[in-house]
């Protein structure tokens, strides 16, 4: 089976929205190395448990994290597949801008200097 690697416009919007807040970026960073409970994550922030749950929900909607139930706890971990897809998108943007800058450099090199 071939996985779709290209993100849809909706997925791109969700990923950028999810990463637009430092708390969500930090939650993602904390869950890359190991799975953590939402309760444990909430203890790390100066906000209510409900606020942390909302941040987790935004990350989950963007599919940057995966949440699962284990007994009464909700455990979250980063989703490496979606992170890889987001990185590929950013790499394409980087390639686009590097190509544009290279063309501009070439154009400037061709332009004779004024005396």
pLDDT one digit per residue (tens) for the chain, 115 residues: 334 568 889 999 999 999 999 999 999 999 999 999 999 999 999 999 999 999 999 999 999 999 999 999 999 999 999 999 999 988 988 999 999 999 999 898 887 766 5
Contacts of 14 (CB under 8 A, 6+ apart): 61, 62, 63
**CA–CA distance, 95 with 91 (Å, rounded to integer):** 6
**Cut 0.85: pTM above it:** no
CATH number at 9-110: 1.10.10.10
Task: Tell me, rounded to whole angstroms, the distance of Cα 97 from its chain centroid.
Answer: 20
Residue-range domain boundaries for the chain: 9-110
Nearest to 83 by CA among 9, 1, 2, 11: 11
């Amino acid at each position: 089976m071939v996985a779709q690697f290209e993100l849809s416009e909706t997925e791109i919007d969700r990923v950028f929205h999810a990463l637009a807040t430092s708390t969500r970026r930090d939650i993602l960073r904390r869950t890359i190395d190991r799975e953590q409970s939402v309760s444990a994550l909430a203890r790390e922030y100066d906000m209510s448990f409900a606020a942390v749950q909302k941040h987790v929900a935004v990350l989950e909607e963007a599919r940057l994290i995966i949440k699962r139930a284990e007994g009464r706890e909700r455990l979250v971990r980063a989703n490496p597949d979606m992170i890889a897809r987001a990185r590929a998108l950013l790499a394409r943007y980087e390639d686009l801008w590097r190509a544009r800058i290279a063309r501009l450099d070439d154009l400037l090199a061709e332009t004779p200097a004024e005396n």
